Structure 1
C-alpha cells in the first residue's frame, strides 16, 4: 500500500501525510489520529529517518522562466549559494515561460514529499495548481512577478514603478522630450508598474506620452532587435528609450548599427536588471540594477522561516504573509547622453 492510499483514507493531501509521518509537520490532534488510524488500517510501513531526507536538511524547488536571460541565471546562482550555506538544497526547474508548464511543475513539487517549499519566479499572473499547493500548506515564496493577489504567499519584488520613474526622469534631465518605452509582455506586474512609472514621469515633466512609442514584447534579444522599424519611422523617431529589460536592450544595441543608428548619439538607451554583460557592451549599458543579493537573501530568509513554522505549528493558515519591496538603483554608464545643445543648460542646474 502506498502513502497516497494513507492520505486518501485520512482525508489529507499526500504531502501532509508524508511530512507528518516524517516528523516534519505538526497537525491538529484529530488530523494526526486520522493519519495514524489510516496507517494502521492499511498496514502502511513508515520509513525510518535513515531512509528519508537528511535530518535538519531542507529541499526547496525553484521554478524559473528560463536561464537564457542572465537576470534569472544570476538569481538562481545567488539563491543556490545562499541556500548551501544554510544546509538547504535547491532544485531548479525551468518553465519556459509557459503557463501550463508552470502549473504542472507546481503540481509535481506539491505532490513530492521530499519538497519542503517552493521559490516561484513565474511569468503568468495565475496558477491554479500552485494555489492548491498553498491551500494544502506548502510554503511558497514568490519573487519578481506578482501572482494572484488572493494567494496566501510571501512576495518579494522590487520597486518597478519607482525605478521606471527614475530612469525616465534621468532621460528627461538629459534633455530628451521624445522618449520611447520598450516594455515587457502585457499583463505582467513588472510590465504594468514600469509602464506606469514611465508615463507618470513624462506627465510630471509636462511631456506628451505618445502611445505609438510604447512597444510590448517578450524579454528576449530578438524582440529588442525587432523594435527599430517602429522606432525609426520618419517624423516619429524618439531620441531616447527606457527599456524594461537589459536582455532586450542588448538586442537593441546589437542591431542598432544595422539600422544606421548610433547609440547614444542618435538614441539614448536605459535598461533594467543590471546584468553583468551590460558592463562589456559598447557603449556600456546605463541600467536600473536589480538587488540580486537582496532578493535571494529575502527569499531564503522567508522560506527558512516558513519551513520552520510549518514543522512546528499546525496553524499554518493563520500565518500572516508579507510583501517585501526592494529598491532599484540607477547605474549611469555610456548608453545615454545629453541631447545636443542641452549640456550648458544641464550644467547650470
Structure 2
C-alpha cells in the first residue's frame, strides 16, 4: 500500500496526505475525515522517515514550477532559485509545466508523485490553473511569481512580482527623451498580467509625453523570438513607420535583432529597441540590448522567504513588488543618429 493510493482514495494530493500524517498541516475537518478513512480502509502505515530525509532538516522539499526552460529568463530564474535554496539548505525540486493549457496537467502529476513536497513556488503563463487552486484548497503553502493568478475569494497565496507598470513607463519615457515620437509596442499575450501592466505603463508614458496613443502601433503575441521576428511586416504597414519599439520581453527582442537585416533595417540606426527581462545573452548581442533588468536573485530570495514563512504558519497574503532597472546599452539611440557604442 502506497501513500499515493491513500491520496487517490481520499481525493487529495499525495503531498497533502504526507504533511497531514506527519502533523505538519491543518486541513478542513471534512478533508481530515476523508484522509483518516482512507488510511483506515486501506490499512496504510506511514513509514518512519530515515535520518537523511528532508523531514529531519527542519525545511521540507520545495517545488519550483516554471512554464519552460527555452526562454532564457526562466532558465536564469531557475539558476537564481538553485543558488538561493542552496544558501538556505532548502531541498529544491524543479518542474516544467508547459505553456499550454493542455499540458497543465503536468503540475498535478508532479504534486501527486512528489510525496514530500511541502511548498510550491509557481511561475505560470496563464491567468488560471485548477491544479494550483486544488493545491491551495488542500493546504499546500503556495507562492505565485511573475504572472498573477485569478483566484477565488478565500484562497490565500503570497505573490512576488516586479513593477511592470513602472518599468514600462521608464523604458518608454527613455525613448521619448532620445527624441522618438513614433514608438510601437511589441507586447505579450493580452490576458497576462505582465502584458497588461507593461502596456499600461507604455500608454501612460506616451500620453504624458503629449503623444497620441491611438497613433502608436501595439502588437500582441507570445513571448518568443519567432513572434519578435514576425513583427516587421506589421511595423512597415503602420502608415508612418515607428522609429522605436518598446518590446515586452527580451526573447522577442532577440528575434527582432536577428530579423531586422532581412527587412533592410539597422538597429539602432533605423529602429531603436528597448526590451524587458535582462537575460544574460542580451549583453553579447550586436548591438547589445538595452533592457529592463529583472532582479532574479532578489525575486528568488523573496519567494523562498515568503514560502518558508508560510510553511511555518507565519504567512498571510503577502504581495511584494520589486523594481526593474533600466540597463542602457547599444540598441537604442536618437532617431536618425547612429549610436556611438556597441
TM-score between the two structures when normalised by the length of structure 1: 0.87
Contact 1:60 1:91 in 2 (8 A): yes
Work out the CA distance in 2 between the residues paired with 1:87 and 1:154. Answer: 21
User: Which shifted more, 59-68 or 31-40?
Assistant: 31-40
Q: How many angstroms does 1:142 deviate by?
A: 0.8
- Quick one: structure 1 residues 96 and 33, their matched pair in 2 at CA, closer, same or farther if it must change by over 3 Å? closer
2:163 corresponds to 1:159? yes
Within the alignment, does 1:230 sit opposite 2:234 as a pair? yes
Q: CA deviation at 1:120?
A: 0.5
Range with greater deviation from structure 2 (170-179 or 29-38):
29-38
- 1:45-84 per-residue CA deviation (whole Å, 9 max, x = no partner) reads 2201228933124212211111111110000011011112
Q: Structure 1: any 5+ residue segments left out of the alignment?
A: 311-318, 344-349
Q: Where does residue 109 of structure 1 map in the other structure?
A: 111
CA contact (8 A) 1:22 1:49 kept: no
- Which position in structure 1 is the counterpart of 2:73? 71
Aligned-partner Cα distance in 1 for 2:247–2:165: 13
Q: How far apart, in 1, do the equivalents of 2:311 and 2:216 lie?
A: 48
Aligned-residue CA RMSD in angstroms? 2.8
Unmatched 5+ stretches in structure 2: none
Confirm or deny: 8 A CA contact 1:271 1:286 kept in the other structure: yes
2:20 alignment counterpart: 20
Distance of 2:52 and 2:36 partners within structure 1 = 19
Contact 2:26 2:139 in 1 (8 A): no
1:325 and 2:313 matched: no
- Does the C-alpha gap of structure 1 residues 330 and 74 become closer, same or farther in structure 2, counting only changes over 3 Å? same
Q: Which residue of 1 aligns with 2:139?
A: 137
Number of positions where the alignment pairs a residue of Structure 1 with one of Structure 2: 334
SS in structure 2 at match of 1:45: coil
Q: Distance in 2 between matches of 1:272 and 1:256?
A: 18
* Counterpart residue number, 1:316: none
| Cα gap change, 1:4 to 1:139, in 2 (>3 Å) | same
How many Å separate the matches in 2 of 1:187 and 1:34? Answer: 37
Q: Distance in 2 between matches of 1:11 and 1:259?
A: 56
169-178 or 225-234, which deviates more: 225-234
Q: Which stretch of the first structure deviates more once superposed, 6-15 or 115-124?
A: 6-15
**Secondary structure of 1:247 counterpart:** helix
The change in CA–CA distance for 1:180 and 1:5 in structure 2 (over 3 A counts) is closer
Which digits, 9 at most, give the CA deviation of each residue in 1:157-180, with x for residues without a partner?
A: 100001001100110111111000
1:240 aligns to what? 244
Q: Give the stretch that moved more between structures: 59-68 or 101-110.
A: 101-110
Give, in whole Å, the separation in 2 of the partners of 1:35 and 1:106.
18
Contact 1:263 1:335 in 2 (8 A): yes
Q: Which runs of 4+ in 1 moved over 4 A?
A: 4-14, 26-42
Secondary structure of 1:50's aligned partner: coil
Q: Deviations over 1:193-228 (max 9, x none)?
A: 000111111111110123661111111111111111
Confirm or deny that 1:283 pairs with 2:287.
Answer: yes
The corresponding residue for 1:271 is 275
> Residue in 1 aligned with 2:88?
86
* 1:40 shift after superposition: 5.6
Quick check: 239-248 or 35-44, which moved more? Answer: 35-44
